[in-house]
Chains A and B, each alone.
Chain A
């Protein structure tokens, strides 16, 4: 009945309006089709924008050998599975799903189409045809923490969190460990936006943090809204995901910029060569999967310190989560990675380090 009604409705609605003989799925067999699922709009100037830049880099690198398609603003709910499957059905053979919330939908579609390869960003579930990739952003956060502690006069940092998931929590902890290495009494105030991309909320959070006495703003949300507020108020801030200096020429200290292009190019190349394998990539500064924007709006000695720390982390000489790590309650965390916390401990991080005077949501 539903189908009949549907057909009836469609016929009714379209009566006499269009006559279409369209072939949309004409695709050359020798071209590799690569699909992307984006969380935000390509113009978010943050997270999604960086994936989009990497997609454009792919097109530039491979030219006629690939054809790329993206779907933007795909919510991390029941619609995601359909969006991914639509890309499969349109002939895409390699599909990048670029947000944590696409994990289960990607896995479901991957099981259904074993001959299509999937790349999921920032999740932990894998399959024979589903790889994962992410960056060790906490390394950059440690550098930011050091800069923030040097730059703050009030000794209070303002932090806009998105969701209290391990990636964000480990970022807060790394920031604090970096800051404490400069000023052991540094304080941080945290506001949860409960969204990755909500410029209005992000701006409000930044205002609230500044009103509460914070004088350095850092964020784990995707828009430049917080940077703009800091700029308006004459305070300093860190960009997120991409270069945000345009939004705070006198405010941006640096930014953790996602530079996915090298990874995307290597994966597409592997796909073209037939050597694609499902693996887990967690790239640090040394892989250039993310990079620090130029250190600006700070005295030379702070800049020098930041560059030294960056070099030390890149060379593997400095571990942000160096043992002993002490949690909020003063308990020493078990050290599973030799002289630093193990990857699993960072990937599943669910505690605040000592000195964070706040309660984690849901704990």
Chain B
């Protein structure tokens, strides 16, 4: 008698819907056991993680603030991944976007530059992110270089470039040589939506990005091309789709979105350029993209959910003295179960008895 994982002849749509629920269920069960072992009341702990952050406007705002860059980057990445182009360097595009936008903020600092400053910053951030993402894309299409490696390595280039700028030419002259620019002027700052909170215009931009990506993928020829090139490259070639061009396009879009997210983060919640503006958003967004099944709406939900676990994790540290590591275990478990359950969409478990084992073609 043995278990085998057997390929389904077609995707199971029921499982596709139920799989995330199974994953969440398994995560909750595992976490409850873990909380119990730690001597915490599992119901109370899960409540702090998932319910408390949803009960007041402050936490809801913070969830949105945290999710904004994740969702924007992940939507861009999903286009790449759907087209079978592997942009791993969103973190670098995020940083370069932040740098490019900050350049305008730094240069106009203390001048009477008007309301054109912020739009110009956002445009510069998006443009710089797109150009930066095109480097690995062009290396791929012209020279066949692995975009996974080149895009990843460019992250470190961007990181050190930012580092150089804030320690050298852009350093706040009144800042005791600490590595940061001066605080941006009000005209160079992303406006806050609700007074006293941190929810900013970027959240709305993220929603627009999600909507636009949904339309692009669902209603346009380009979106169809992207999906065909990824899913069936040969068919795409016969169909006359230019896959090189699509690699360039998807990289440019995802770079632009990452760059835009970068400058919004700097001109919004941070308020100045400094090292460490991203706690790994560009990499976490890869997880968000896959958790959201490379679907814009799915990504929105996944981004918000991941943000919820961050905020909830902090509140659990405060309210129940649950160590931060448990939050990380929790996030890891969730991803693990989601991916594990997803395999059930394409495969199914079968119990095979030795006596009846006959060779059969699989579908």
Indicate which residue in B24, B207, B279 contacts A79 across the interface (CB closer than 8 Å): B279
Bound-state CA distance A21–B52 (Å) is 10
Which of B41-49, B130-138, B237-245 faces chain A? B41-49
Residue of chain A at shortest CB distance from B178: A165
The residue of chain A having its C-beta at the shortest distance from the C-beta of B160 within the complex is A194
Residue of A nearest to B321 (CB): A69
Interface-side segment among B84-92, B114-122, B301-309: B301-309
Give the complex CA separation of A221 and B52 in angstroms. Answer: 37
Residue of A24, A89, A163, A166 with most partner-chain B CB within 10 A: A24
* A100 interface residue per 8 A CB criterion: yes
User: Which of A86, A108, A165 meets B314, CB within 8 Å?
Assistant: A86
B321 CB contacts on chain A under 8 angstroms: 69
* CB <8 Å contact, B270 and A78: yes
For A, the interface residue count at a CB cutoff of 8 angstroms equals 58
Contact yes or no, B54 A77, CB < 8 A: no
Q: How far is the CB of B91 from chain A (nearest CB, A)?
A: 13
Asked if A29 is an interface residue, CB under 8 A from chain B, the answer is no
Q: A18-B47, A82-B65, A86-B318 are in contact. Are A9 and B301 (CB under 8 A)?
A: yes
Contacts of B207 in A (CB 8 A): 1-2
Would you call B5 an interface residue if the criterion is a C-beta within 8 Å of the partner chain's C-beta atoms? no
- Inter-chain contact total with CB atoms closer than 8 Å: 143
Query: B332 contacts the other chain (Cβ, under 8 Å)?
Result: no
Q: Does A17 contact B (CB under 8 A)?
A: yes
User: Are A22 and B318 within 8 A (Cβ)?
Assistant: no
Contacts of B300 in A (CB 8 A): 5
What mask results when residues 137 to 178 of chain B are scored 1 for a CB within 8 Å of chain A, else 0? 000000000000000000000000001100110010000111
Q: With the chains together, A363 CA to B164 CA distance in Å?
A: 10
A41: chain B residues at CB < 8 Å are 324-325
Q: Which residues of B contact A349 (CB under 8 A)?
A: 177
A83 within 8 A of B: yes
A7 within 8 A of B: yes
Q: Does B196 make an interface contact (CB < 8 A)?
A: yes
Give the nearest-CB partner of A77 in chain B: B276
Asked if residues B318 and A100 are in contact (CB atoms below 8 Å), the reply is no
Q: Are A18 and B308 in touch, CB under 8 angstroms?
A: no
Interface of chain B: mostly helix, strand, loop or mixed: helix
Q: Does A350 contact B (CB under 8 A)?
A: yes
Q: Is the CB of B304 within 8 A of A165?
A: no
A71 on the B face (CB < 8 A): yes
Q: Which of A9, A10, A165, A194 contacts B177 (CB 8 A)?
A: A165
B186 contacts the other chain (CB 8 A) = no
Contact of B318 among A73, A77, A90 (CB under 8 A): A90
Closest Cβ neighbor of B159 among chain A residues: A194
Q: Does A101 contact B (CB under 8 A)?
A: yes
A83 to B278, CA, bound (A): 15
Is the CB–CB distance between B269 and A10 below 8 Å? no
A73 contact set on B, CB distance < 8 A: 324
Q: Find residues 44-62 in chain B having any chain A CB closer than 8 Å to their own CB.
A: 44, 46-48, 50-52, 54, 58, 60, 62
- In the complex, the answer to whether A166 meets B301 with C-beta atoms within 8 Å is no
B169 CB to nearest A CB, Å: 9
Contact of A14 with B50 in the complex, beta carbons under 8 Å: yes
0/1 string, A70-99, CB within 8 A of B gives 1: 111101111101110111011000000000
Bound CA span A361–B166, Å: 11
Q: Which residues of B contact A112 (CB under 8 A)?
A: 196
Which single member of A18, A24, A77, A79 contacts B315 (CB below 8 Å)? A24
Please give the distance in Å from B168's CB to the nearest CB on chain A.
4
Given contacts A9-B305, A81-B198, contact A87 B318 (CB under 8 A): yes
Distance to closest chain A CB from B335 (angstroms): 14
B317 touches A71 (CB 8 A): yes
Contact A20 B51 (CB under 8 A): yes
Given contacts A13-B305, A77-B279, A78-B277, contact A18 B43 (CB under 8 A): yes
Chain A residues with a Cβ under 8 A of chain B: 1-3, 5-7, 9-10, 13-15, 17-22, 24-25, 35, 41, 69-73, 75-79, 81-83, 85-87, 89-90, 100-101, 104, 108, 112, 124, 163-166, 169, 194, 347-350, 361-363
Known: A20-B44, A75-B276, A350-B177. 16 other contacts (CB 8 A): A5-B304, A6-B54, A6-B304, A7-B54, A10-B50, A13-B305, A15-B21, A17-B28, A24-B52, A70-B317, A71-B324, A81-B269, A108-B271, A194-B163, A349-B177, A363-B168
* Closest A-B pairs by Cβ, 7 of them: A20-B47, A362-B167, A24-B319, A78-B269, A22-B47, A362-B168, A348-B176
- 6 A-B pairs with CB atoms under 8 Å apart are A17-B46, A22-B52, A72-B317, A77-B277, A78-B277, A350-B177
